[in-house]
Amino acid sequence: MKIYDISLTISKDLPVWQGDERISLERVKKIEEGANSNVSVLKCGVHVGTHVDAPVHFVPGEKGIEHLSLEVLIGPARVVQLPETCDLITAEVLEPLGVPLPERVLLKTRNSEFWRKGLTEFQPDYVGISPDGAQYLVDKGVRLVGVDYLSVAPFKKTRPTHEIFLKAGVILLEGANLCEVVPGDYQLICLPIKLGGSDGAPARAVLISE
Amino acid sequence: MKIYDISLTISKDLPVWQGDERISLERVKKIEEGANSNVSVLKCGVHVGTHVDAPVHFVPGEKGIEHLSLEVLIGPARVVQLPETCDLITAEVLEPLGVPLPERVLLKTRNSEFWRKGLTEFQPDYVGISPDGAQYLVDKGVRLVGVDYLSVAPFKKTRPTHEIFLKAGVILLEGANLCEVVPGDYQLICLPIKLGGSDGAPARAVLISE
């Protein structure tokens, strides 16, 4: 059994969504200054780093992150490599992947190189999924979609893609760092922290190969 | 396969360590106010709710949460019920559990009733592990210890117990909500978010039975 950590390290250097406040992780009690223990405080948006979206992120009144199904967040998943030249994940791009698709699909794109390079600023030219690409995955019965940048949707066009997925109850894993992962079949464990009523939550996500 | 979520829901109502700031989880962008999506910001200590301690919490210069072994955080675990009358988990209390112990042990005490009751204030009379209890578990080869309140150590005596565990490389899962879990053997998945260099991190933790 080999475990691949596909989670980004959360720190002040991690890029956040354009216009959002950067992540703050500060040690507020320090042994070296006489405290009993070292203790840190975190302040960040709930959509930083490797994270999961809840339906209420785009659909008012819908459920929060704590209600997402653990049975969907844990289970067999396929990592699919998309061509380096792919700038938008459309139905046409997805069709050659073949069917049936497993219930959990992680799309590896040129975005993963952003993480490999350790870029600290937001990259608006990331690869996202078009509305017809989202509808294709919903129609194929996919229940969890993972992407390797901070949104499943293209920049400045976030609503339609999110709405299609979230209204269909698809769980969205965003900011997965797939740069070290070889395409293929794995067991996914994707666990967002249990933030009550939240529109999203940072998650630790791993892939396990037998 | 059945999945038991042993994670506390993180919200402003969750008790935090005495003297610490309460958890803040605030929706800063709202669709109903014209925003494109609902977006929340979290501010909390890294030792809130169900969480994992890193060695640097009590041992200056030691490693942060992102370096803990996923091979230890995931694997077979035993949930052990301790008597309702137990106020301190000593070596004497632990000896009747028998050996060999599995590498991961979760200790269910009367603390779990605090979570069942939904108490919102810190309970200083929680059950913790004495230094000789910690040494007993280290000597038996336990590599992950879970407890059902916010610290492995008794209140006001936190340093010795933590030091014994953390210097021995034992991973500490604190704030596990075991009130619905029947003692026995499970697969544990305990995933703290990957906070760079942090002394601790909120975690999502589940137990899986076949």
| pLDDT tens sequence across B111-126 | 999 999 999 999 999 9
Model-level pTM? Answer: 0.97
A130 three-state secondary structure: coil
Residue contact B11–A195, C-beta within 8 A: yes
**Beta bridge pairs of residue A146:** A106, A173
* Closest residue, chain A, to B21 (C-alpha): A41
Point out the residue among B37, B42, B194 whose CB comes nearest to the CB of A8.
B194
* Residue among A8, A50, A194 whose CB faces B204 most closely: A194
Are A7 and B39 in contact (CB < 8 Å)?
no
- Among A7, A62, A193, the strongest candidate for a mutation testing the B interface, having the largest count of B CBs within 10 A, is A193
Catalytic annotation present for B51:
no
CATH architecture of A2-209: 3-Layer(bba) Sandwich (3.50)
The residue extents of the domains of chain A are 2-209
Q: What is the pLDDT of residues A25-55, one digit of tens each?
A: 999 999 999 999 999 999 999 999 999 999 9
Please check whether residue A7 touches B, CB under 8 A: yes
Token representation of residue B70: 């996923």
Considering CB atoms only, which of A8, A40, A60 is closest to B46? A40
What residues contact residue B117 under an 8 Å CB cut-off, 6+ apart?
none
Mean pLDDT, chain B, rounded, equals 97
Contact call for A39 and B60, based on CB within 8 A: no
Measured in angstroms, the CA of A161 and the nearest CA of chain B are apart by 12
Residue position matching structure tokens 């309970």 = B123
Cα dist from B183 to B106, B132, B147, whole Å: 9, 23, 13
Write down the pLDDT at residue A188.
Answer: 98
Residue among A40, A47, A57 nearest A20 (CA): A47
Average pLDDT, chain A: 97
**Contacts B42 to A, Cβ<8 Å:** 42-46, 195, 198
Condensed to tens digits (0 to 9), the pLDDT of residues B97-114 reads 887 899 999 999 999 999
**Which residue stretches of chain A have pLDDT < 70?**
none
- Residues 6 or more apart whose CB falls under 8 angstroms from that of A144 comprise A72, A73, A77, A103, A104, A105, A170, A171, A172, A173, A188, A190
Residues of B in contact with A192 (CB under 8 A): 204
With a cut of 90, say whether residue B133 has pLDDT above it.
yes
Distance from CA of B74 to the nearest CA of A (A): 10
More confident residue, B68 or B19: B68
Cβ distance of A202 and B196 shorter than 8 Å = no
Q: Identify the pLDDT of residue A19.
A: 87
B177 near A CB under 8 A? no
Q: Which CATH class is domain B2-13+45-209?
A: alpha beta
pLDDT band for position B19 (50/70/90)? Answer: confident
Write out pLDDT tens, residues A75-92: 999 999 999 999 999 999
